[in-house]
Structure formats: C-alpha cells, structure tokens
Amino acid sequence: MNIKTIIGGLAAAVVVLAGGYDRIRSYVEQWTGGSFLPEAAEGRVWGGSPSGAQEVPDIGLPEFTKERRSQIIRHIGYTTSYNAETKIPNYVAWTLTPERFEDVVSRTDKFLPDPEVADPVTTDDYRNSGYDRGHMCPAADNKWDKEAMRESFYMTNVCPQHHNLNRGDWKELEDACRDWTMECGKLHVVAGPILYNKRHQRIGDSRVVVPEAFFKVILCPDPLKAIGFIYKNTSGNHPLDAYVNSVDEVERITGMDFFPNLPDSIEEVVEKAYDLDEWPMPER
C-alpha cells in the first residue's frame, strides 16, 4: 500500500466521521476526479480506439490478484483484457451514459476477429458448438456510433454462453443496467467470465474456453453505490435477486480487484453492500 492510499484512507475516515455517506461521495470525486474506470466523454470510453496492442496505464481498471495472461485493448466503446491462453476476455470494462443509447445505428450482427490480436478467434470457432457468441459489453450499449457498434462484435468482447442465459436472464441484467443509467446518469461496468479450478470445455479450432459462469460488477458514482452479480453458464429463469452478490464476493471468486483507485476505507464500505433495493427498477 503506497503513501497516497494510506493518506487517502485516513482522510476518508475523517470524512465518514464528520459527514456521513454523502460526504464520502464528495470526497471520492475530489480524490479521483470523479473517474473510477475509463471515463465517457461525448459517449466514448476514455482512451478511445487503440492504435496498437500496446498496454497503457489505465485509470481504475481491474487489477489481478491471481496471475493470468492479459492484453489490454482499447476500443471506442469498451476496454478489454484479452487472454491469449483461454481465447476469451478476462474482463471487459465500459462506462455507461444515457447518450450511448441513442439510436444512431442499428445492430450489425457481424462478428469479427479483433485486428489487435495475433492468431485471433473467429466466428467459425463457435459454429455447431451449441453455444451463443455472448457479448460482455452489449451491442445495445453502442448504438451511438457506427464504429463502436462494429467493434462491439469483435471476438475479444465475446464468450461462449448458454443460449438460454444469453437471451434470457443475462439480457435482463443488461436491460437493468440501461435503466439504472437513465436513473443515475452514469454507471461504470465490468463484466467477464468465471473459470473454476477444473479442466475446461473448449470449442473450435482455436480451443476457446467455455466459462463455468459469468460476473458483472456495477459502480454508480452518484449516489455512490456498487453491486455484483454472478450467473452460472447454464439454462435458467430466475429473478434478478437470485444472482446478486457483493463486489467483494465477486472479487474473491474472480481473483480481481475492481475499482482499485478507490481509497481502501471507501472501497471496503461500497464493495461489501449488495442490497438490490438500492437499485430500483422503473415501472413498465
């Protein structure tokens, strides 16, 4: 832990004692500049489209507590950590704002190999596998820009996903995130696969790993709150609260530290909570 983190934690503790939860949020915004993950500016994720596959220091991207291969790739609508061993992303991170949902372009449905990856996965690897090409960052979150929509179909944003999950409960969570964005104004989202310590099923000539489960963690900067979800990669039809977990629990299972630039004292408070009542759904 560096001196900045220690000072930040002590300052946060004073803020908590002096003013409570609202002042925590104010403090965090001052400490981080209001930026926990790549920031949306005019609908674009901070960092924009990569000019190459080089790794660039990120603001608030997840940190690994368990070692794994990772190639950080920035696209217009999201940042992905691609794993060349498993052939799927470790995670995909993006910032949601209402502007991203503007119907500027239609869904393309054309899955493409990522040009930033050597020996990339192609859509043929999924052919006759029995699994959907499941988006991590949804196409519907990228309607605001033609290139963002096209890049959302890169295979580095895709995992083998059970058809029923992809078209059912996972999609319902994607819809909920858009509703919460309209309510909060901004969300920071990280989603990806969960691989248990076992021999994994693989598909296609590229030997793409089939995840045993999926996670999604969400941070709302105002009012400051966070929540996590875990879905087994199987068929099912359950309400949203069946999948709720704390961000702490998702971190334990995935071996990642989400929102690492939050001072520890604030991170501990926010990431322990998992009350779905704090995330109301609009009446339809």
Which residues have a catalytic role annotated? 135
Q: What are the beta bridge partners of residue 71?
A: 82
Is residue 212 within 8 Å of 182, Cβ to Cβ?
A: no
Is residue 80 within 8 Å of 53, Cβ to Cβ?
A: no
C-alpha to C-alpha distances, 12 to 21, 47, 59, 266, nearest whole angstrom: 10, 29, 20, 7
Is residue 91 within 8 Å of 62, Cβ to Cβ?
A: yes
**Helices 264-272 and 247-254, axial angle in degrees (round to 10):** 100
Measure the CA–CA gap between 195 and 127, rounded to whole angstroms: 22
